[in-house]
Structure 1
């Protein structure tokens, strides 16, 4: 049966959160938003495409930075309101030049940065 994006539960703005995870290490890299067309573009091209809420436009991860995400697997959660893409990440995933956007931990009530920017 072909995948039907109308079965997804988008929010009031027509968006759904998408978590990107490294296919090799299972590290959570980032979270961004997709709309139905970004989902379709991602599935059709194999290049992960998100919707930028600030720019109100599509962005293909790595199109300008070279830090691309090649789609390995595409999953829908049980409530159909969140997506998980496993990817082959080239370079850092975070716009701060870190491998992951989740580089800040809270330990004993204080924030601790777990990684430095890459090269």
Structure 2
């Protein structure tokens, strides 16, 4: 899968703008007790070309592929409520992809719970 991050010039320019805004925020008096110096990209990177290079080299995604193997009982779901893949024997999916919708926050806790439930299913433990 290629998400094509920064594939559009607009994406890159918004990231550069984000760096500039972060610099403005940290330059305010509210942050002066804690802010000593900029570590990245560093005070030597001031021009837009320098910032574009920084963004291209240092940007990364914090993205989970949630929802791509949606759990449910309808025709569009991939796994049933016990995480079994529809139409395939002895195969379960146990990760963020079974979430029916992409969560708005960090999904680590939900993924851990999915794994706990999968362990229960495999052991034959029922929770009412």
Whichever structure has more helix as a proportion of its residues is 2
TM-score range, shorter chain: under 0.3
Higher relative contact order (CA 8 A, sep 6+): 1
TM-score using structure 2 length: 0.23
Whichever structure has more strand as a proportion of its residues is 1
TM-score using structure 1 length: 0.24
